[in-house]
Structure 1
Amino acid sequence: MRRAGVFRIAAALWIFLVLPAGRSSAGEEIAISLDEAVRMALARNLGLAVETFSPAIAATAVRRAGAIYNPSISLATEHRGEDFRLVPDEPAVARSRFFDANLSLDRLLTSGATAKVSFENLFSRGSGAASRFAQPELSVSFSQPLLAGRGEEVTGRGITVARDARESAAAEWRVRALSVAGEARDAFFSLVKSREEQETRRASLAVARQLHAENEARVRAGVLASIELLDSEFGVARREKDLLEAENDVLERTDRLRVLLQHPGAGPLVPGGPLPPARIEFSEKVATETALRMRPDLEAVRVALRTEEFQARVSRNLALPSLAVTGSAGLQGLSAGYGNSLDDLASGETPFWSIGLSFAYPLGNDAAMADLAEARLKAARGRASIRSLEASAALEVRSAIRDMETKFRAIEVSGKGVALGEARLASFLKRGKIGLATTKDVLEVEADLAAARDAQTAARADYQGAVTRFYRSTGELLEVHGIRIGGKEIEAMAWKELR
């Protein structure tokens, strides 16, 4: 059943973990609607909680990959010295001492170029006056690839791959969420079926007890053989046993639903709230288009194909020769004092520059060509996988539609069976009162009615199971229950666990 409202998973967590409505004392019945069961399963399912961390972990990889554009600053100092003789066999020794203090900032640009700004300082202190000086130098250098490695697509390939992995992780989470929602619906309707069967057993027992009471009165009045009383006693005993088994089945299915939902209440869960309509309207064409657009498994495969096609483009670029233009320019100063040397640098009278080309190409280039061939083959495989999965999705939708039609037809047939059983029971009860039907006949007809009601209950539950499979095949099971959740919301849920 579709809902107009859109619920975020954070709201679901708040509703079910904070509000006290879902809690009750032991033994008190807890009403729970289908929408509540699905949202609670998504909010508390332990397997889904584990899967929730994957998109958040993938998001950290995006940040890590983007770090290639972070500027890098470095500072280096060095003090070195040397003592040496100016003339062989002479006692005179010259002494030189040098001190370097260098600061640089470099960064990778989106074009693939590397740029660097350096400020270097050389201080010399030697024996002679000419060896006492300060030499600062300010320079800018760059290297820009012209073929292999050129462009933002190639430079930031790690970021693109990480972003795709992030989307893929979110799609895988939604695949798991669809499975959990389907399990919650199946468990909910299984409990509905069990409780309806329990009511059928109670109704059967009530009929048997009423028949037995009437038989006792008629036997005492001498208008009915005592053997009929034995038949009615057996009928009551058998239906009491059937009711006990039905009650145990309700408890079993309640426990299964409670475990699936991780429900904190101690009382029995009672399905309530508005149930889905008896029949949903659909169009095979629209359903197939919806499946191709919304199914998260298809989304994950499409993201994988996008990554593989991207890798093929990158590999094609990296197979090109390495050709880069390099250049540098700067100013330098020289003086006996550091302050004067800075003035000399600022005057711009002693500039320097360089520009050049560098070329490299491995003969044969086998590694790059093998990478390119592998990437192209993987992309072709991905396209084939999508075609196969799209065909499977369309087949699954058609199969689900046929299954719904069959199951709905079973509801119509079982309804006629119940109507027939009720009419026959009413007829045999009247005939029994005038001696035209035995107690055994009446109990057999009542058992047929109970079986018809069970068949109707099973048909309704089977139809809802078919509806669940239909919405899973179209990928809109969460939206049917008013739940929309994107990758950022999933990541927020994971980070919330760390607080």
Structure 2
Amino acid sequence: MKAIGRLLLVLPLLLCVPSPLDAQMRSFDPMSLVRKAAAGPSPGVRRLLDSMVLREVTLNIVADEALRQNYTLLAAHEALVSAGALVAQRDAAFDVSLSASLNVGMSKTGDRIEMIGRPRTPDSDLTADEDADGIPDFVQGGTKTVEEVDGEKVPCVLEDDQVVNGGIGPGLCGQIPVYSTAKEAASLKSPSTKRITASVGASKVFSFGTALNASLSTSYNQKNGVQAPALTRPISVEDPFGWGEKLYWTAGASLSATISLPYTKGFGEAGSKESLDLASARSGDRRAAFVEQAVRNATLAEVLQTYWDMIRSLQDITILNEQKVVLDQRRARVTRLLGSGTITNYELGQIDSELASFVLREEAAWTQYLLRSSTLLTLMAGDADTILVPADAEALLADAVPEPPADAYDRAMIGNPEIMAAQEDVNVGKLNLAYRDNQSLPDIDLVLTAKLTQSDTTFGFSDPGTAMLNLGKPDQTNIFVGVRYLYPLGNQAAKAALSRARIDERNAFDRAQQTRQRIINSVDRALADMRGAQAVMQVSQGDMELASFAYERLVEERERGLATEFEVMNGYQDVLSARLNQASARVEIHKARVRLGAAQGTLEEDFLR
């Protein structure tokens, strides 16, 4: 009868506790788990589930939305677009620059005549001949004596066409100024003078340090005025200064080149600031592309690892729930048997302590789950009032993790975008160093200039076309060939810039080496994590087999009264602990494979494949 009674006591335990193999094979349904937690009155963070929307997602959906909507990725893409625009801007420095100008000018004078009082020399009638000798009284040619005319005026005596008695005073023919008022003109009205100049030009900067400029111009110049041009001999009475002619058009052309000589400042692509800017912009464009790849790689790695952490949290919750159900069953049974004397308060207290521990562990697992869901929503730029539920968790856990490639280190050195971006920094450092080295050389340029011009001093051409056609026979041709030499005293600025460029180049090289070493370390850690997770899975599998065997033996011993309830509980706890370790190792090996792909820089490619 005692044996039958013990069997009846143990029978509920056997019916409520699944075997380890049954627990492993039981389906994993995250959505049902989360809905159940949201439906019931749950303490702690699970109360937040009531006000949130459950969204069922898969790993592909989460990764796709993160790669399309993540703000960091969008900023990296905008930086890439900006770098491309900078390349176009810098490349435009070598385009042919065209220019055109049109200048129109007109000058016109008006009358301004007023009565002005000032001392003036008295007017003399140079034609007066009072003695009727046929010779003006004011000029007594051929004589050397001074005679008075009307008692006041002294004639000027000329000898060999020179006045011999000029000046003011006794016996001199000059007159003392007398104050008088007369009309004077400050400005006189004249026809307007018009001038129109049109020019077109082209310039180009070459990558080897040469600048070329060319221009072609034509002018329309209609000359009018009141004042006679200085030192101009009158042409005719009707048009004394040639202002009446209608040939107003002239043309001109010029060509100039500035060429840096070999082994001097500015020669070659290394000495051209425009070439340096373009090469730096192209390197920056490539670097921006590598940075975008690196950001996508890092973001995808964070998304995938967070997704796996979310799955692990749900796995832990499932396992803890199963264990808590067993503990609840045991506590109910122990409470019923407490009065029979076969169970002590100590065993009941141990079970209560374990139950409290599992409540805290479950609460921590729910907290981690909600935290991972919130992190994923941030990476996806999703709604904050949503809870993500992985619908493909069971399928992902069933997938086998591929073996790491044998050439993992080589792939990382070749394909990791962070290494490529660091190498672009090294390339820019070398370009700057070569440029600064060139700028420290003597500045010697060969300057060539040719200019063809036409003159309109006397007359031009009837129309601009005729003026252009006659540029082959210009009025004036100017050709200039010169060498310009400039060497600052001490050249300290260029030397200091060269020293700084050397330091920057070395720093860029050191950073590139550090990046390579960091990537190698990342590959090392990922491979070690994969091997460690595989070892943990094997160990946990062995632990699970041992714990299952021990559990079955304890159940049998308990049935015969040779084991306590506490020992049976500990045996089942060992089984579930082994399950937790195995589940964690399964997730860790997937995360390690993600980290390996991220270290190689091929995570997105591997994920899509």
Tell me the TM-score normalized by structure 2.
0.64
Q: For residue 258 of structure 2, what is the amino acid of its counterpart? A: Q
Give the structure with the higher percent helix. 1
2:285 maps to 1:166: yes
Pairing partner for 2:587 from 461, 465, 470:
461
Identical aligned residues as a percent: 17
Are the counterparts in 2 of residues 211 and 232 from structure 1 also a CA contact under 8 Å? no
Q: Deviations over 1:29-68 (max 9, x none)?
A: 5443333323322323233333332222222322332332
- Quote the residue 1:241 is aligned against: 359
Pairing partner for 1:60 from 82, 85, 90:
85
Matched position secondary structure for 1:436: coil
Rounded to whole Å, the distance in 2 between the matches of 1:64 and 1:472 is: 34
Rounded to whole Å, the distance in 1 between the matches of 2:437 and 2:193 is: 52
2:482 maps to 1:357: yes
Pairing partner for 2:221 from 116, 123, 126:
123
- Quote the residue 2:434 is aligned against: 313
The Cα shift of 1:252 comes to: 4.1
Q: In the superposition, relative to structure 1, how do residues 301 and 26 fare at CA in structure 2: closer, same or farther (>3 Å)?
A: same
Q: For residue 260 of structure 1, what is the amino acid of its counterpart? A: L
Rounded to whole Å, the distance in 1 between the matches of 2:603 and 2:303 is: 11
Deviates more, 1:411-420 or 1:222-231: 222-231
Q: In the superposition, relative to structure 1, how do residues 235 and 391 fare at CA in structure 2: closer, same or farther (>3 Å)?
A: closer
Matched position secondary structure for 2:562: coil
The Cα shift of 1:301 comes to: 1.5
Q: Deviations over 1:384-421 (max 9, x none)?
A: 43334323432332233223222321221122112222
The Cα shift of 1:247 comes to: 4.4
Q: For residue 43 of structure 1, what is the amino acid of its counterpart? A: R
Larger radius of gyration: 2
Q: In the superposition, relative to structure 1, how do residues 327 and 360 fare at CA in structure 2: closer, same or farther (>3 Å)?
A: same
Q: Deviations over 1:101-140 (max 9, x none)?
A: 1322222232432222221314031245424552421314
Pairing partner for 1:324 from 441, 446, 467:
446
Q: For residue 478 of structure 1, what is the amino acid of its counterpart? A: E
Q: In the superposition, relative to structure 1, how do residues 236 and 402 fare at CA in structure 2: closer, same or farther (>3 Å)?
A: closer
Are the counterparts in 1 of residues 537 and 582 from structure 2 also a CA contact under 8 Å? yes
Q: Deviations over 1:344-396 (max 9, x none)?
A: 44143326352412312214433334333432343233334333432343233
The Cα shift of 1:243 comes to: 7.7
Matches within 5 A, 1:266-415: 266=386, 268-272=388-392, 274-275=395-396, 277-283=399-405, 286-318=407-439, 319-330=441-452, 332=454, 336=459, 339-340=462-463, 342-347=465-470, 348-350=472-474, 352-363=477-488, 364-415=490-541
- Quote the residue 1:44 is aligned against: 69
Are the counterparts in 2 of residues 215 and 224 from structure 1 also a CA contact under 8 Å? no
- Quote the residue 1:73 is aligned against: 99
Deviates more, 1:460-469 or 1:412-421: 460-469
Are the counterparts in 2 of residues 134 and 341 from structure 1 also a CA contact under 8 Å? no
Q: In the superposition, relative to structure 1, how do residues 283 and 251 fare at CA in structure 2: closer, same or farther (>3 Å)?
A: closer
- Quote the residue 2:253 is aligned against: 139
Matched position secondary structure for 2:82: helix
Deviates more, 1:363-372 or 1:54-63: 363-372
- Quote the residue 1:199 is aligned against: 318
The Cα shift of 1:303 comes to: 0.7
Matched position secondary structure for 1:143: strand
Rounded to whole Å, the distance in 1 between the matches of 2:186 and 2:63 is: 94
Rounded to whole Å, the distance in 1 between the matches of 2:379 and 2:78 is: 20
Q: For residue 118 of structure 1, what is the amino acid of its counterpart? A: L
Pairing partner for 2:543 from 392, 417, 441:
417
- If asked which structure has higher relative contact order (CA below 8 Å, sep 6+), I would say 1
Rounded to whole Å, the distance in 1 between the matches of 2:375 and 2:82 is: 32
Q: Deviations over 1:321-356 (max 9, x none)?
A: 231231224464758575356424414332635241
Q: In the superposition, relative to structure 1, how do residues 166 and 225 fare at CA in structure 2: closer, same or farther (>3 Å)?
A: same
Deviates more, 1:295-304 or 1:122-131: 122-131
Q: In the superposition, relative to structure 1, how do residues 224 and 262 fare at CA in structure 2: closer, same or farther (>3 Å)?
A: farther
Q: Deviations over 1:433-465 (max 9, x none)?
A: 332222221111112222222222222333333
Pairing partner for 2:555 from 429, 441, 455:
429
- Quote the residue 1:101 is aligned against: 197
2:296 maps to 1:177: yes
Pairing partner for 1:261 from 376, 380, 405:
380
Are the counterparts in 1 of residues 257 and 447 from structure 2 also a CA contact under 8 Å? yes
Rounded to whole Å, the distance in 2 between the matches of 1:383 and 1:358 is: 40
Q: In the superposition, relative to structure 1, how do residues 61 and 28 fare at CA in structure 2: closer, same or farther (>3 Å)?
A: closer
Rounded to whole Å, the distance in 1 between the matches of 2:387 and 2:491 is: 72
Are the counterparts in 1 of residues 54 and 387 from structure 2 also a CA contact under 8 Å? yes
Matched position secondary structure for 1:149: coil
- Quote the residue 1:16 is aligned against: none
Q: For residue 473 of structure 2, what is the amino acid of its counterpart? A: E
Task: Give the total of aligned pairs.
Answer: 452
Are the counterparts in 2 of residues 212 and 232 from structure 1 also a CA contact under 8 Å? no
Rounded to whole Å, the distance in 2 between the matches of 1:340 and 1:120 is: 10
Q: For residue 72 of structure 1, what is the amino acid of its counterpart? A: L
Are the counterparts in 2 of residues 232 and 439 from structure 1 also a CA contact under 8 Å? no
Are the counterparts in 2 of residues 61 and 162 from structure 1 also a CA contact under 8 Å? yes
- Quote the residue 1:490 is aligned against: none
Rounded to whole Å, the distance in 1 between the matches of 2:361 and 2:496 is: 71
Q: For residue 289 of structure 1, what is the amino acid of its counterpart? A: D
- Quote the residue 1:149 is aligned against: 266
Q: In the superposition, relative to structure 1, how do residues 93 and 337 fare at CA in structure 2: closer, same or farther (>3 Å)?
A: farther
Matched position secondary structure for 2:223: strand
Are the counterparts in 2 of residues 106 and 115 from structure 1 also a CA contact under 8 Å? yes
Q: For residue 448 of structure 2, what is the amino acid of its counterpart? A: T
Are the counterparts in 1 of residues 276 and 435 from structure 2 also a CA contact under 8 Å? yes
Rounded to whole Å, the distance in 2 between the matches of 1:389 and 1:240 is: 44
Are the counterparts in 2 of residues 26 and 267 from structure 1 also a CA contact under 8 Å? no
Rounded to whole Å, the distance in 1 between the matches of 2:376 and 2:515 is: 32
Are the counterparts in 2 of residues 141 and 328 from structure 1 also a CA contact under 8 Å? yes
Rounded to whole Å, the distance in 2 between the matches of 1:350 and 1:383 is: 60
Q: In the superposition, relative to structure 1, how do residues 421 and 256 fare at CA in structure 2: closer, same or farther (>3 Å)?
A: farther
Q: In the superposition, relative to structure 1, how do residues 426 and 30 fare at CA in structure 2: closer, same or farther (>3 Å)?
A: farther
Rounded to whole Å, the distance in 2 between the matches of 1:304 and 1:227 is: 73
Q: For residue 417 of structure 2, what is the amino acid of its counterpart? A: P
Are the counterparts in 2 of residues 31 and 272 from structure 1 also a CA contact under 8 Å? no
Q: Deviations over 1:203-234 (max 9, x none)?
A: 22343455567779x969x9994659958984
Q: In the superposition, relative to structure 1, how do residues 97 and 403 fare at CA in structure 2: closer, same or farther (>3 Å)?
A: same
Matches within 5 A, 1:480-499: 480-482=606-608
Rounded to whole Å, the distance in 1 between the matches of 2:368 and 2:284 is: 45
Q: For residue 321 of structure 1, what is the amino acid of its counterpart? A: D
Are the counterparts in 2 of residues 102 and 119 from structure 1 also a CA contact under 8 Å? yes
Are the counterparts in 2 of residues 80 and 97 from structure 1 also a CA contact under 8 Å? yes
Rounded to whole Å, the distance in 2 between the matches of 1:212 and 1:340 is: 116
